């Protein structure tokens, strides 16, 4: 059983597990299935907007797909959430990537 199948099997028991959904999206990126990766991240963030680590990854994915406005949206939204959660590490990573992307 490959990693995606294992993750999907685990999700059957807990379909809203943010960690597993994040891991699934990362596996889709590895397979270069960017549509499924993006969809998985968006669904995850719609259900769990405080899962701050996913903002960085979806923004990077969108950046790689030349979707500048969407990437900027997720960087900014991620920074907003990280600030709200007082997660300085996540905030700094998002801000650094955001500034590197813009400048």
Domain boundaries, the chain: 3-102
The answer, yes or no, to whether residue 22 has pLDDT greater than 70, is yes
Q: Quote the CA–CA distance of 93 and 2 in Å, as a whole number.
A: 31
Q: Going by C-beta distance under 8 Å and a sequence separation of 6 or more, which residues neighbour residue 83?
A: 91
CA 91 to chain CA centroid, nearest Å: 14
Average pLDDT over every residue of 4-19: 96
The answer, yes or no, to whether residue 1 has pLDDT greater than 80, is no
Q: Identify the three-state secondary structure at position 57.
A: helix
Residue 103: predicted pLDDT: 87
With b meaning 16 or more CB within 10 Å and e meaning fewer, what string describes 46-62? eebeebbbbbbbbbbbb
The answer, yes or no, to whether residue 4 has pLDDT greater than 70, is yes
Which band of pLDDT confidence, cut at 50, 70 and 90, is reported for residue 13?
very high
With b meaning 16 or more CB within 10 Å and e meaning fewer, what string describes 73-87? ebbebbbebbeeeeb
Which band of pLDDT confidence, cut at 50, 70 and 90, is reported for residue 59?
very high
**Best CATH choice for the domain 3-102 from the list 1.20.120.1200, 1.25.40.10, 3.10.20.30, 1.10.20.10:** 1.25.40.10
Query: What is the pLDDT of the chain when averaged over all its residues?
Result: 97
Predicted model pTM = 0.94
Average pLDDT over every residue of 48-75: 97
Q: Distances in Å between the alpha carbon of 19 and those of 14, 22, 68, 71, 74?
A: 11, 5, 26, 21, 18
């Amino acid at each position: 059983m490959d990693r995606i199948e294992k993750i999907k099997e685990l999700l059957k028991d807990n379909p809203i597990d943010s960690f597993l959904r994040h891991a699934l999206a990362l596996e889709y990126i590895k397979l270069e299935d960017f549509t499924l990766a993006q969809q998985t991240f968006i669904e995850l963030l719609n259900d769990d907007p405080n899962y701050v680590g996913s903002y960085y990854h979806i923004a990077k994915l969108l950046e790689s797909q030349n979707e500048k406005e969407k990437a900027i949206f997720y960087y900014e939204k991620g920074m907003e959430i990280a600030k709200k959660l007082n997660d300085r590490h996540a905030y700094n990573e998002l801000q650094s990537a955001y500034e590197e992307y813009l400048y």
